[in-house]
Chain A
Amino acid sequence: MSKFGVDLEVHIASLRRYARALLRNSADAEDLVQEALTRAVARADSFQAGTNLRAWLFTILHNVHVNQVRSKAARPQEVDVDDVESKLVSPARQEERVELREMMRAVDELPEEQRKVLLLVALEGLKYDEVADMLGVPIGTVMSRLSRAREAVRAKLANEGGVTLRRVK
Chain B
Amino acid sequence: MNAHQGMGRVTEDELHAYVDGQLDGNRRLAVERWLVEDPEASRRAEDYRAQAMLLHEMFDTVLREPPSDRVQELSDRLKGRIAFNDNRPAWHARPLVRFAAAVMLVVAGAAGGWMGRGVDQQAGTPVAQQRQTLATFAQEATQAHRFYTSDERFQVELGADNQDELNGWLSKRMGRDVFGPDLGRVGYRLIGGRSLPTDLGAGAQYMYANDANKRITLFVGAPQSGNQSNFSFTQNGDVATFYWVEGPLAYALAGRLSKEELLEIAKAVYQDVKAGPPRREAPPEPQQQQQQPQQQQQDHPAGVQPISDTQKAKES
Contact = CB atoms under 8 A, between A and B. Distances in A.
Best-buried of B43, B54, B119, B212 by chain A (most CB within 10 Å):
B54
Pairs of residues from A and B, 5 with the lowest C-beta to C-beta distance, nearest first: A125-B113, A44-B81, A5-B92, A37-B74, A165-B50
Interface in A30-53: 30, 33-34, 37-38, 40-41, 44-45, 47, 49-53
Nearest to A149: B51
* Interface size range of chain B in the complex: 35 or more
Interface of B: 12-13, 16-17, 20-22, 43-44, 46-48, 50-52, 54-63, 65, 67-68, 70-71, 74-75, 77-79, 81-89, 92-93, 97-98, 101-102, 104-105, 108-116, 119, 149-152, 212-215, 256, 315-316
A49 B120 CA distance: 13
A89 to B, nearest CB: 15
Contact of B81 (A7, A41, A126, A128): A41
Contact of A10 (B13, B59, B87, B104): B104
A123 B57 contact: no
B315 A166 contact: no
Given A8-B79, A41-B78, A166-B152, A125 B112 contact: yes
Interface in A1-60: 1-10, 12-14, 16-17, 20-21, 26, 29-30, 33-34, 37-38, 40-41, 44-45, 47, 49-54
Nearest to B74: A37
8 contacts: A5-B83, A9-B98, A49-B82, A103-B54, A147-B16, A150-B16, A150-B48, A167-B150
Contact of A100 (B47, B57, B214): B57
A9 B102 contact: yes
A91 interface: yes
Best-buried of B78, B92, B215 by chain A (most CB within 10 Å):
B78
A144 to B, nearest CB: 9
A34 B86 CA distance: 24
B78 A169 contact: no
A123 B59 contact: yes
Contacts of A167: 43, 46, 150-151
A123 B48 CA distance: 12
Given A168-B213, A169-B213, A128 B98 contact: no
Contacts, number: 192
Contacts of B81: 41, 44-45
Contact of B315 (A5, A33, A37, A52): A52
A59 B115 CA distance: 19
Contact of B61 (A37, A94, A157): A94
A17 B75 contact: no
Interface in A101-134: 103-104, 107, 118-119, 121-128
Contact of B93 (A5, A103, A126): A5
Contacts of A168: 149-152, 213, 215
Would you call the interface of chain B mostly helix, strand, loop, or mixed?
helix
A6 B92 contact: yes
A143 interface: yes
Nearest to A1: B89
Nearest to B115: A10
A153 B51 CA distance: 8
Contact of B88 (A5, A13, A51): A5
Contacts of B17: 128
Contacts of A21: 55, 58-59
Best-buried of B59, B110, B111, B119 by chain A (most CB within 10 Å):
B59
Nearest to B120: A3
Given A103-B58, A168-B215, 14 more contacts: A13-B67, A17-B60, A17-B63, A21-B55, A44-B81, A52-B316, A127-B315, A147-B12, A150-B51, A153-B51, A157-B51, A167-B151, A168-B152, A169-B212
A50 B88 CA distance: 16
Contacts of B13: 143, 147
A4 B83 contact: yes
Nearest to A4: B86
Contact of A5 (B57, B79, B113): B79
Nearest to A146: B16
A137 B47 CA distance: 26
Contacts of B113: 54, 124-127
